[in-house]
Amino acid sequence: MVTNQTQPQTQNLTDGMHIVVDALKRNGVDTIFGLVGIPVTDLARHAQEVGIRFVGFRHEQSAGNAAAAAGFITKKPGICLTVSAPGFLNGLTALANATTNGFPMIQISGSSDRAIIDLQQGDYEELDQMNIAKPFCKAAYRINKPQDIATGIARAIRAAVTGRPGGVYLDLTTALLAAAVDKDEMEKTLYTVVDPNPAIIPSQESVDRALQLLASAKNPLIILGKGAAYAQADDDIKTFIEKTGIPFLPMSMAKGLMPDDHPQSAAAARGYVMSNADVVVLMGARLNWLLGHGKGKHWNPNVKFIQLDIDGMEFDSNRQILAPVAGDIGSSMKAFVAGLAKYSIKADAAWMDGINKDKAVNAQKMEARLANVTEPMNFYCTLKAVRDVLDKQRDYYLVNEGANTLDDTRNVINMYEPRKRLDCGTWGVMGIGMGYAIGAAVTTGKQVVSIHGDSAFGFSGMEVETMCRFKLPITVVVFNNGGIYKGDSPNLSGGTDPSPTTLMPDARYDKVIEAFGGDAYYVTTPAELTDALTKAIASKKPSLIDVKIDPSDGLESGHIGNLNPATVIKEAH
């Protein structure tokens, strides 16, 4: 056969960013949350062109938070796209927060010319992004060559979801994005990652050790964490809890994994079970500050811990774990359920009786608080109105941020389905609200009710425009007490500047949504709130309810004032 070497090649040219988009699509990415500009605008356009939804935000932090919410809900990495330097840095807080929470996401950022960055010659938006990202995420990679796009995307996906999930940074250089490549040749290099998150099966020995210890318990307790919610092992968790009759305590984002009105819920007897449990099973929950590090005055001094975690490094991080079970919760719970045939594990009736008594006392106290209607409204009568509307709903997502607004809402609003509550998380960070709400609405198409303190709302409030632009079924509720924690704190100098915690006393957050054509409500009584929330949810339209709350209501730092080093306000309490 004779080949004509001089025949011109019929090349089908494309560029690196098309190939990146193709690689993402091939790996099941259907949505990108981001904010465009040089050098990634066309990447977003191409994504849209091939049917990937692009949700453009007003600030990268919210885009990153939306990606993190998508990751938590779906167990697949959410994708956030940012521009170089400042856009990258704006997204980095969300990436770090996702890593802290164990939510899988990938921040993909365009970056400037490597040669200029490395000699620090002052390129447009020059920053050594990958190296800056490293301490804030689980892994950071850079793709320099078009031939490496498939590998780079595969590594990012695996890093985000394997083991303890987290945030991954993926740097795409301008040169890579612009590289002219042969489309057909490049397409041949692309592939779909096989089993990105393989099961991690616990050893039988570790399961036996744990179940033996649990069988010896008189007052056993299961603590459900957001790792258990994330694992999507809902049925085996329910079976194990119900067959053993062990009471459970849900951490904030594990609320709904077992319904909050389940007879074995010990949520309303938290103090009682922590101080009386003799064997505690930590299921996808770290013994961090949220659990008093597993020691100190809140805990039974003789308590023994069993811990189920995908990350073996977690065990003994705060105190001895007598029965560590390293594995993914799905596999571990299968083994636990199977182990019930071998071990007799049944919670004592007296233990549950004690819990029920404590629950009844606390429930009565709570109902009295909720029934105390004041004018202006306090947090609890506000939440009673919200609860009575939301209790009729099950199929909605609840986003929640603030201090008192967070803590009181968590205690009053029951969740009935898994992975439906998204909040400030491990860091207690403000500003996740609108990003999480938009992420949940876009990912699931479901109704979202997003409850923010007035300060918290301010961090991401401009995303109301995003929610209106995409016509999302989100009802934002702002608990407006005119301040951080409360609105009436004094300026200690006696001067006229507002105090550090004071915000505008007569701010009208409902006016924000009016600017973008959404539905605005301003309410001052429980009846008005009931009416507004019912209407807003039924409309399935973007809406915002500003709830006027007594500026003198609210505790300094919400329920964690004990962590506050200041003395001045403590004395005032």
What are the structure tokens assigned to 165, written together? 């999930």
Tell me whether residue 99 or residue 466 sits nearer to ligand ADP (CB atom). 99
310 touches ligand ADP by CB under 6 A: yes
Q: How far does CA 287 lie from the centroid of its chain?
A: 18
Q: What is the DSSP letter of 182?
A: E
Q: Quick one: what does residue 558 bind among Mg ion, ligand TZD, ligand ADP, none, with the CB cut-off 5 to 8 Å set by partner type? A: ligand TZD
Q: How many angstroms separate the Cα of 413 from the Cα of each of 263, 336, 387?
A: 16, 31, 6
The only residue of 426, 444, 455, 480 in contact with ligand ADP, by rule CB under 6 A: 426
The only residue of 61, 252, 481, 502 in contact with ligand TZD, by rule CB under 6 A: 481
Site for ligand TZD in 87-146 (CB under 6 A): none
130 touches ligand ADP by CB under 6 A: no
Site for ligand ADP in 155-194 (CB under 6 A): 164-165
Helix (H, G, I), strand (E, B) or coil at 480: strand
Tell me whether residue 284 or residue 376 sits nearer to ligand TZD (CB atom). 376
The amino acid present at 139, given as its one-letter code, is A
Q: Quick one: what does residue 18 bind among ligand TZD, Mg ion, ligand ADP, none, with the CB cut-off 5 to 8 Å set by partner type? A: none
> How far is Cα 359 from Cα 195, in angstroms, rounded to an integer?
44
Pairing of strands 105-111, 78-82: parallel
Q: How far does CA 513 lie from the centroid of its chain?
A: 24
323 touches ligand TZD by CB under 6 A: no
The only residue of 332, 481, 501, 502 in contact with Mg ion, by rule CB under 5 A: 481
The only residue of 59, 142, 226, 384 in contact with ligand ADP, by rule CB under 6 A: 226
328 touches ligand ADP by CB under 6 A: yes
The candidate with the shortest Cα–Cα distance to 337, out of 214, 488, 162, is 214
What are the structure tokens assigned to 309, written together? 């975690």
307 touches Mg ion by CB under 5 A: no
Site for ligand TZD in 454-473 (CB under 6 A): 454-456
Tell me whether residue 314 or residue 454 sits nearer to Mg ion (CB atom). 454
> How far is Cα 98 from Cα 106, in angstroms, rounded to an integer?
10
What are the structure tokens assigned to 276, written together? 């009386």
Applying CB under 6 A, the span of 43-51, 154-162, 203-211, 246-254 interacting with ligand ADP comes to 246-254
102 touches Mg ion by CB under 5 A: no
Tally the residues of the chain.
573
Applying CB under 6 A, the span of 74-82, 320-328, 425-433, 437-445 interacting with ligand TZD comes to 425-433
Q: Quick one: what does residue 164 bind among Mg ion, ligand TZD, ligand ADP, none, with the CB cut-off 5 to 8 Å set by partner type? A: ligand ADP
Helix (H, G, I), strand (E, B) or coil at 546: strand
400 touches ligand TZD by CB under 6 A: no
- x/- mask, ligand ADP, residues 251-290, rule CB under 6 A, reads x-xx-----------------------------xxx-x-x
309 touches ligand ADP by CB under 6 A: yes
123 touches Mg ion by CB under 5 A: no
436 touches ligand TZD by CB under 6 A: no
330 touches ligand TZD by CB under 6 A: no
> How far is Cα 477 from Cα 509, in angstroms, rounded to an integer?
9
Q: Quick one: what does residue 431 bind among ligand ADP, Mg ion, ligand TZD, none, with the CB cut-off 5 to 8 Å set by partner type? A: ligand TZD
For 497-511, what is the HEC assignment? CCCCCECCCCCCCHH
For 317-351, what is the HEC assignment? CCCCCCEEEECCHHHHHHHHHHHCCCCCCCCCHHH
Question: 175 with 211: CB under 8 angstroms?
Answer: no
Kindly write down the DSSP assignment for every residue of 348-382, as one continuous string.
-HHHHHHHHHHHHHHHHHHHHHHH---SSB-HHHH
Q: How far is the CB of 456 from ligand TZD (least distance, A)?
A: 3
Applying CB under 6 A, the span of 166-174, 272-280, 309-317, 532-540 interacting with ligand ADP comes to 309-317
The candidate with the shortest Cα–Cα distance to 277, out of 249, 255, 253, 299, is 299
231 touches ligand ADP by CB under 6 A: yes
Site for ligand TZD in 501-560 (CB under 6 A): 554, 558
Site for ligand ADP in 391-420 (CB under 6 A): none
The amino acid present at 320, given as its one-letter code, is Q
Helix (H, G, I), strand (E, B) or coil at 477: strand
Applying CB under 6 A, the span of 142-150, 227-235, 450-458, 492-500 interacting with ligand ADP comes to 227-235
Applying CB under 6 A, the span of 77-85, 178-186, 337-345, 452-460 interacting with ligand TZD comes to 452-460
Angle, helices 234-244/329-339, rounded to nearest 10 degrees: 30
If you search the block for the tokens 């909040």, which residue do you land on? 423
Number of residues that bind ligand TZD (CB under 6 A): 19
Within 10 A of 463 (CB to CB), how many other CB atoms are there? 26
The only residue of 314, 454, 465, 553 in contact with ligand ADP, by rule CB under 6 A: 314
Helix (H, G, I), strand (E, B) or coil at 515: coil
Question: 13 with 59: CB under 8 angstroms?
Answer: no
> What is the number of the residue whose Cβ is closest to Mg ion?
453
> How far is Cα 286 from Cα 311, in angstroms, rounded to an integer?
10
Tell me whether residue 240 or residue 379 sits nearer to ligand TZD (CB atom). 379
Tell me whether residue 165 or residue 402 sits nearer to ligand TZD (CB atom). 402
The candidate with the shortest Cα–Cα distance to 214, out of 145, 292, 277, 291, is 277
> How far is Cα 66 from Cα 294, in angstroms, rounded to an integer?
32
Within 10 A of 382 (CB to CB), how many other CB atoms are there? 31
The amino acid present at 86, given as its one-letter code, is P
Tell me whether residue 167 or residue 453 sits nearer to Mg ion (CB atom). 453
- Can you give the binding site for Mg ion, defined by CB under 5 A? 453-454, 481
Contacts with ligand TZD by CB under 6 A lie at 402-405, 428-431, 453-456, 479, 481, 483-485, 554, 558
Residues that bind ligand ADP (CB under 6 A): 101-102, 164-165, 225-227, 230-231, 251, 253-254, 284-286, 288, 290, 309-311, 314, 328-329, 426
